[in-house]
Amino acid sequence: MLYFDFMNNFIYLTQSLLSKKTLFLSYSLAKTNFKLRNEGSYLGILWYLLNPLSLFITILFVKQTAFDHVEIPMYPIYLLVGLVMLSYLNRVVSLSTDVIRSNSSFIKSIHIPTEVLVVSSVLHVCMLHVFEVFLILCLALFMNVSLFQMGLYLLATIAFTLFLFGLAFIFATIGVYVSDIGNIWSVVSQLIFFVTPIFYALNPSNSLYTFNLYNPLYYFVTFSRDMLIKGTTSAWTIQMILMSCVASLLIGLAVFGRYRRRFAEWL
């Protein structure tokens, strides 16, 4: 019985997400939120780039002064890719944790599929991420990275976005029942910044390397860096990327599909 309930919810939600109505509503909401967030701002979209850029400049300076003996090929690209991907992850999760609660009156007054709110939040962050990707491509062009490798990096970005879609549905569901999930995530995101090799390289003999073998973000960051810097990656990394995408989407849709009908009761 539980299996059939899961399959029905999964099929319904998948069909809803692929429908023109859901895609149009999600895009319209994302576009509206994007415009409202930047309305009245002098710097506009530049505000979203300040965080990764400031961290990039700071860490690059520290690396050149205190850790100049550590050699990482194309370190500026290595660093910026890690920072931008972590920023992308943080924005998607932070926005999705509150997307249902913050629209509770909207959900109760207007009959609109709740999945539209989740998809629109991810699309909103995607619109912002385009500017970060452009920043990385400009740096790659400056460092003479081939157009072919840039194209491979864009494929890696698409794979990471699919993973984040599944993650958004998971955290959107948790956010309905756990009001403090946003505060919890802010602490967890800081830990992720240090345990994931964002600004340093892992040593296989280190216990931190063993931990990252179970960290999906590590594989996506490695995949993106490999595509941009080397143009190739290991079969194991590709396998883990595919498994992470499938697992994230399946779990996300299953969890959201199972509990979405109860959201109104908790809001």
At 19, phi and psi to the nearest 5?
-75, 150
Q: How many CB atoms lie within 10 A of CB 155?
A: 12
**Cα dihedral 137, 139, 145, 148 in deg (nearest 10):** 0
Q: Residue 102 carries which DSSP code?
A: G
The pLDDT of 5-22, averaged and rounded, is 64
Label residue 58 by pLDDT band (50, 70, 90): confident
Q: Which residues contact 241 (CB under 8 A, 6 or more apart)?
A: 159, 219, 220, 223
Nearest C-alpha neighbor of 159 from the set 77, 223, 253: 223
Q: For residue range 133-173, what is the model confidence (pLDDT) as tens digits?
A: 999 999 999 999 999 999 999 999 999 999 999 999 999 99
Label residue 113 by pLDDT band (50, 70, 90): confident
% pLDDT > 90, the chain: 50
Q: Is 73 left (phi over 0), alpha (psi -120 to 50) or beta?
A: beta
Residue 10, pLDDT score: 62
At residue 133's C-alpha, the angle toward residues 130 and 138, to 5°, is 125
Q: Choose between 149 and 58: higher pLDDT.
A: 149
Is pLDDT of 3 > 60?
A: no
* Contact assessment for residue 129 and residue 205, using Cβ atoms and an 8 Å cutoff: no
Q: Choose between 38 and 159: higher pLDDT.
A: 159
The tokens for 6 are: 């899961």
The pLDDT of 92-112, averaged and rounded, is 81
Q: For residue range 211-261, what is the model confidence (pLDDT) as tens digits?
A: 999 999 999 999 999 999 999 999 999 999 999 999 999 899 888 888 887
